[in-house]
Structure 1
Amino acid sequence: MKLAGIPRAPRFPRMARVKQRFAGPTLPDVRAAVRDALTSIALPVRAGQSVALAVGSRGIVNIDAVVRATVDDLKARAARPFIFPAMGSHGGGTADGQRSVLEHYGITEAAMGCPIRATMEVVQIGTALGLPVWLDAHAAEADWIGVINRVKPHTGFTGTVESGLFKMMTIGMGKHRGAVQAHRANIRHGYEPMIVALGREMLARARIAFGLGIVENGYDETALVRAFLPTELEAGERELLRQAKAWMAKLPFDPIDLLIVDEMGKDVSGSGMDTNILGRHATFFEPPYTSP
């Protein structure tokens, strides 16, 4: 059958490999960097006290080493650390599913040297923007809470606080109930105002001992680890986000006619791909990128 009216495709263009070099250091010893970060601040944790460590579901490089080093530091202080999944509704929204997500990243009781306490139960500890602030029930019973997360640009909005410690306090530590509420509330309040308001309430009401922020370079390698006391956490996260944006990988050309992405997944981003690099927002209420 002969097709008429269809233009002939031009000859396929010649292809060439391009190699990029991205900015940003690589930590030679991640565990030592965690120890140095924790010893650089005056932790309020005392001997015999329990510390709930919030660990999320994203594919953070060296997260097992970061968490284990944190556990070891706390145990050296004669504290009693345990890990709880701080991942909102991920893992199928079940305690066993969230424990399985942690196991996928090498975070098990045997590997970490401490208990993992998983539950979907939450308690209300405060109110912000007229919304209840929810906290994992096990974490609420602990003497202290340590928040561990990577700080990076969010793929759904742009601001000065995006994906990191505040978002984990607002959504991750609130489990399924907190995640559902937050994702609805952002339509009315906006992502950043909602995350900041609920995160500030969490800092004011919960016994947060420290936040441990991780920044990766353009090669997805651990570049920086910083620890913050609650009073320093918001300003510290904003600074880490500025650094993360400076070290973020970028496409070598702008504009681009065709982009083929080899891999995608929730371990990379909630959108499947990093929209900051691709230049395409996954949300309809954010202004479009001007570049790339």
Structure 2
Amino acid sequence: MKFPRMVKIGQSFPSLGLADLTGELNRVLSQSNLRDSIKPGMLVGITAGSRGIANITELLRVLAGHIRSLGGRPVLLGAMGSHGGGNPVGQAELLGSLGITEHATGAEVICSAETVVIGSAFYGDIYLATSALACDAVIVINRVKPHTSFHGDIESGLLKMLAVGLGGPAGAASLHRSHPNLLSRAVAEAGMAVLKACPVVLGLAIVEDAHEATSKIVAVKPEDFFETEKNLLSESRRYLPGLPAAEIDVLIVDEIGKNFSGTGMDTNVIGRLRIQGAPEPETPSIKRIIALDVAAQAHGNAYGIGLADFTTLRLACKFDRESAYLNALTSTFIQRAMMPMTLPDDREALKAALRSLSGIAPQDVRMMRIHNTLHLSEMLVTENLHKEISDSPHIKTLGPPHEIDFGPDGNLPPF
């Protein structure tokens, strides 16, 4: 089979990262009047989630230092729902892989799956971690961005950290009993209920640009969580990176993993949800997706592999079914954990994908290769796709067309 030639391109996005992250966070904290809420000797919990938030270690370190300067005793509360296998050991390991440790942040890390019911929502019981209730004050920190499974006024952010993150495995499972179309409402309702039951004194909302750089830090009073997060979500949507073409025959994804997206591959990027009862996005339209490997930072949790059509034996051998299945059963989006057609290596996976495209000759296929769905500043595209998009001011050609080269093991080398 003759494969089409590829061209390396760069895709430019506005760079909005803060020049002095520590200085900005200190400025925000100094204006937040935390001194009125945190008194000497108070135990202050800081939420620590499982998402790969940029600069999270530095942000937590500075925040913990500020709390100590007020006389408080900061601790980090593992807040990740059912992630990390839904158990304290797995949660601590996952946080450690993100650099969130006591040594790096200066605050003890507390991971626990113990929760209590603090109320009810339209979908069922609302849960809250006992570790949060044991604190004298709680500060919620999270990135605000579009979610990969649902859309609405509230998606990923402070309220979801409260509703799902601090809800533990039981809270996550309860909330996900909602119909997919009602998940935004569920997060908002549960998050507001937890806000009233938990001693939350402040929220720190983070917005990142398309380069995964921290572009804004906003201190949010508890009574302003809903409206502020709603506005920041609209802002965040403008920075969401995407693919430079809406119609693609084959998309090759070098790595998937929860360090890139909660669904392994960002559904906003690939245009696939695979949620029963929820309509699929109209764009982008991708006929076949090949997931080649799972990132080392994901520790084998290849949840989201069911969004692909083809994969490789090396990914399948690393697949931590226990963690992925727990995510799938908790969310109820079971198709996302289903293993697609598995081929011995990259070459055979690509050949299978091309053979499956009825009526499209391999040399005419419109194909794209990306590192992952988070880092989209560089990619490979076929010559026909390059011709279509090269006139865009956001696209830069980084090299001449070249043949697809497989290593002796049949796998593609990094690009």
Q: TM-score, normalised by structure 2?
A: 0.65
In structure 2, the CA distance between the partners of 1:288 and 1:139, relative to structure 1 (3 Å rule), is same
C-alpha distance in 2 between matches for 1:257 and 1:223:
34
Q: 1:239 is matched by which residue type in structure 2?
A: N
Bigger Cα displacement from structure 2, 155-164 vs 122-131: 122-131
How far is the alpha carbon of 1:256 from its aligned partner?
A: 2.1
**1:203, 1:230 within 8 Å by CA — same for their partners in 2?**
yes
Range 154-163 or range 107-116, more displaced: 107-116
Alpha-carbon separation, structure 2, partners of 1:220 and 1:189: 28
Structure 1 residues 83-102: aligned runs within 5 Å:
83-102=76-95
SS of corresponding position for 1:211: strand
Is 1:113 the equivalent of 2:111?
no
SS in 2 for 1:47: coil
Could you tell me how far apart the structure 2 residues matched to 1:135 and 1:264 are?
30
Code of the residue aligned with 1:194 in structure 2: it is A
Give deviations 1:93-115, integer Å, cap 9, x for gaps. Answer: 11121111111111211222122
CA distance in 1, matches of 2:9, 2:68: 47
Q: How does 1:33-44 map to 2 (within 5 A)?
A: 33-43=24-34, 44=37
Q: Does residue 155 of the first structure (1) align with residue 148 of the second (2)?
A: yes
What SS does structure 1 have at the residue aligned with 2:192?
helix
Unaligned residue ranges in structure 1 (runs of 5+)? 1-8
AA partner of residue 59 (structure 1) = G
Give 1:180 deviation, angstroms.
1.2
How far off its partner does 1:165 sit?
Answer: 1.2
- Determine the structure 1 residue equivalent to 2:227: 235
Q: Which residue of 2 aligns with 1:224?
A: 216
Question: 2-side partners of 1:149 and 1:103: how far apart?
Answer: 17
* 1:19 aligns with one of 2, 10, 18: 10
Correspondent of 1:280 among 272, 277, 292:
272
Give the 3 Å change call, closer, same or farther, for CA 193–256 of structure 1 in structure 2.
same
1:141-152 mapped onto 2 (5 Å cutoff) = 141-152=134-145
Deviations 1:206-248 (A, max 9, x none): 1111111112111122222111010111111112211211011
Match for 1:38: what amino acid? L
Q: Secondary structure at the match of 1:18?
A: strand
Normalising by structure 1, we get a TM-score of 0.91
Secondary structure (helix, strand or coil) at the match of 1:257 reads strand
Instruction: After superposition, give the CA deviation of every residue in 1:60-117 in whole Å (9 maximum; x if it has no partner).
Output: 1211111111101111111111111001111111112111111111121122212222
Between structure 1 and structure 2, the one with the greater Rg is 2
Question: Which amino acid is the alignment partner of residue 280 of structure 1?
Answer: R
Q: 1: distance between equivalents of 2:82 and 2:283? A: 32
SS of equivalent residue, structure 2 residue 7:
coil
* Kept in 2: contact 1:54–1:84 (CA 8 A): yes
- % identity of equivalent residues: 37
Q: Secondary structure at the match of 2:64?
A: helix
User: What amino acid sits opposite 1:21 in the alignment?
Assistant: S
Greater strand content = 2
Aligned counterparts of 1:79 and 1:249: Cα–Cα separation in 2: 39
Distance 2:176 2:123 in 1: 15
| Paired letter, 2:12 | R
Do the aligned partners of residues 287 and 206 (structure 1) sit closer, same or farther apart at CA in structure 2, a change above 3 Å counting?
A: same
Contact kept in structure 1, 2:180 and 2:278, CA below 8 Å: no
Given candidates 122, 131, 138, the residue that maps to 1:138 is 131
Whole-angstrom distance in 1 between the partners of 2:147 and 2:181: 17
